[in-house]
Amino acid sequence: MRAQFPHIDKVSVQPFILKSQLYSSVKDRTQVDRELESLRRDKVLRLFKLNTGQDDHAIMFLDDYIKQCSLLSLGGKVKDSHISILINAGVIIRQLIDPNMYWFAIPNIGTLLKGLAQGRNELISLLSRRRYKEMMLATLEKKRLRMSPLDMRFHLRDLIGSGHLRTDHTPSGLIIRVSKD
């Protein structure tokens, strides 16, 4: 999935995947959560809670994150000027509750978060307008989303993993359906 992360010219964000995408690929969600926690403790990857209004988590390899945020690799005593540099670079953001606490952030992710939300809405709207709220996967993968810089496969994995869409096997191939609530 990391290798399939779309290259977007205007945005310089290292590849990441969503936890929901992993859920769409692996049946046992508990196993996914255990493996992610183990890899996080071993400092292989970093998990980020995304500000999308949903329970979204981005997963990025720690090496990719450090490569993107070279300011973090300096180490040493932290001064107010360092914090200002990190905030301006988008590496950390202030918590709203306590201004002396910070969250790590993925720099330049704003455009992708907007595209993520718009792409989700566009894809669900596309399927909802269909007579049976379904479409063949092969046909759907050929469509392009107008409102998102992320590709169709990215959104399909996300929405299947989060339960908004479901897949069914038919004699003519895999079909994608809007999940009924």
Of 51, 80, 104, the one marking the end of a domain is 104
**What's the Cα-to-Cα distance from 52 to each of 9, 77, 91, 93, 160, rounded to whole Å?**
23, 33, 18, 15, 17
pLDDT band at 117 (very low <50, low <70, confident <90, very high): very high
Average pLDDT over residues 46-52: 89
Q: Which residues contact 126 (CB under 8 A, 6 or more apart)?
A: 135, 143
Residues 90 and 147 in one domain: no
Residues 86 and 126 in one domain: no
pLDDT in tens, 82-91: 788 888 888 8
Residues 91 and 114 in one domain: no
pLDDT in tens, 2-30: 777 877 776 678 889 999 999 998 889 99
Establish if 4 belongs to a structural domain. Answer: no
Cβ atoms of residues 22 and 16 within 8 Å: no
- The count of domains in the chain is 2
Of 85, 104, 123, the one marking the end of a domain is 104
Provide the residue range defining the domain that includes 131.
110-178
pTM of the model: 0.81
Residues 95 and 119 in one domain: no
CATH assignment at residue 36: 1.10.10
pLDDT in tens, 119-164: 999 999 999 999 899 999 999 999 999 999 999 999 999 999 999 9
